[in-house]
Structures are given as structure tokens and as C-alpha cells.
Amino acid sequence: MIHLLSSKPELTAHRRLLLLTLSALLISLLATYSTFQTPDPIYAKTFRDLPSQQTNNTRPIARIVVFGDAGRETDDKNRSKLCGGNLWIDHLAESLKATLVSYAHGYTVKKKSFPDRQFLFTRVERVKMPLGNGRPMPLDQQIKSIFAQNPSDSSQVLYVLLVDPTSKTTTIEMLSKAANEILLTKQISRLLILDTPLPFSKEPAGFDSLQLSNYLVNDPRIELMTYDSNGFLRYMQENYYKYGLRHPENPCVYTQRIKCSRPERFFWCQAGKIGDKAHYFMADDIIQKHFLSSVP
């Protein structure tokens, strides 16, 4: 009898502890779910916020062809699983409703896009190119592949030349020769030159897109555009709150096993690789600076 009486308070204490633990777990789950469903405020204006008369599609772009040196963007096997999977060029093509072929990245786009509830934006479906099993083509092979294509209306094709300022294999002479060959032979009307996004701690080892543009042919019939990608990304990182970000310094993914649950809140996907939201807003900034008249 004494044993039974003494065990009741102990049993009650265990039940209370278990109840408190379950309650705390339930509150944590509810908080996580409600946070996931609540979008973070974004104050940065996109081209979608501009008056419709500014996006009049008077200069449509039906096809985007990318060549050059994509640098770290080609080391991209896990981005689709970890941080959304889209690069800035994917977002650019989707916004302009253009087909995309990237010889620099080693893939083309089979479908426009499909929604992915795990991430903030849609994801494109990529198809690996035959050469190199989806790896980027060597520069000379890129040029040959571009020459093999004969678009019906070259005025609706946007060529994009990527420059990797940290590359130790691609020189300014190589890229300028390839670009000039395309400019003179293909009779293209629009060429966009920009640097691939870099880790900000890594200083350029050689040249950048602005320097390269000085080596290209000067033809008034060709619209030659440059874009300071890393300048914009530095601004975005410094003003991260305007873009709905909460973590401008730490990456979403530390290891394959340690990763965040909200990649859209992080500026970095992995160390030295920007995340999907940074790619998205970089594409949007390119449109606002150069292609408002090409938005469908």
C-alpha cells in the first residue's frame, strides 16, 4: 500500500513531463509550418512592377544562345536538389519566353518550366547535350556548333558571351577571336557580354567582360551590351533585406547532410555559389537594364 501511494506522484510527474514535451514539439511544428507558408516581404521592384508600356515587346527575343566560359556555374550537379536548380540564364529565358541553348553550360531546355513547391520559383527542365555528357563544350566546339545553326530570323536571337575572370585556361585572345568570328560571320544583331558570378573573396586573375568588349569589332549594326553581374550581386548582398533574404553571409548548404529548409532566404547556395533568388534577381536586373522592350 505504501509503495502504491508513493508511486502515484512520480507517475503524474512523468505524465506531465511527457505532455509538456509533446506540446513543445507540436508548437514547434506549427511554427515551422506557418513560417514556411508566410512569404518574406520583398521591396525590390522587378520588371513585372513597371508600367506595361515599358515592356512592349517591340524587339522580341525568340532564342538565346550562350557561349564562352561559364566557370563555376558548370559545377552544378546538386543545385537542382539543394537550391532550386535555376541559373540566371534560365530565369532570363523564361521571362523573355525564349528557347535556350547554352554551349557554355552544356545543356539546353526541353520545356519552359514547371512549378516546384519546395522552392520559391519554377524550375526549368534541362537536357544534356550529346558532347561530353552534359559538360560544357570546348570553345572551338562551341563555335562550330553555333555555325551549324541557321536561325530563320537572326534579329530575334540574343547571343550571350560569358567571361570567367578567374579562369586560367581561357584567355582574352581566345574569347575575343571566337566572338569576332561569330559577329562577322553570323551577322548577329545583339550580343550581351557579362562575367560569370564569382565568390566575392576571389579577386579576378585576368580580365573581365568590360575589357573584353574593347577587343571586339566596332560595327554600328551590332548592339553590343555589357553587364556588371558581380557589381549587382554585391549590391544585392549588401541590401539583402530588400530582396526578401535573411542570410546574406552564411550558405544554405554546408554539406550534403547539413542544409537549410528555406533556401529562398539565403544569398549563397553553397560556399562561393549564389542561390536561386540571387540568380532570379540578377536576370531581372539584366532585363530592366537591357531588354524591357523584349518582354512579351
The answer as to whether 241 is a domain residue is: yes
The answer as to whether 72 is a domain residue is: yes
pLDDT tens readout for residues 121-142: 566 666 666 554 556 778 888 8
The answer as to whether 35 is a domain residue is: no
The answer as to whether 108 is a domain residue is: yes
Query: Residue 3 — pLDDT band, cuts 50, 70, 90?
Result: very low
Q: Report in angstroms the alpha-carbon separations of 49 from 43, 52, 137, 289.
A: 11, 9, 37, 14
Residue 105 CA from chain centroid, whole number:
12
pLDDT at 132 (0 to 100):
45
pLDDT at 289 (0 to 100):
93
To the nearest 10°, report the CA torsion of 63, 109, 273, 253: 150
What's phi and psi for 126, nearest 5 deg?
Answer: -95, 155
The answer as to whether 91 is a domain residue is: yes
- Which grid cell is 290? 537591357
Residue 281, domain CATH: 3.40.50
Query: Residue 281 — pLDDT band, cuts 50, 70, 90?
Result: very high
To the nearest 10°, report the CA torsion of 173, 174, 176, 178: 150
60: left (phi over 0), alpha (psi -120 to 50) or beta: beta
Q: Taking 90 as the threshold, does the pLDDT of residue 218 lie above it?
A: no
105: containing domain: 57-294
Q: How many domains does the chain have?
A: 1
Decide: 276 and 51 in contact? Cβ < 8 Å.
no
Total-model pTM:
0.78
The answer as to whether 150 is a domain residue is: yes
pLDDT at 189 (0 to 100):
85
The answer as to whether 5 is a domain residue is: no
The answer as to whether 277 is a domain residue is: yes
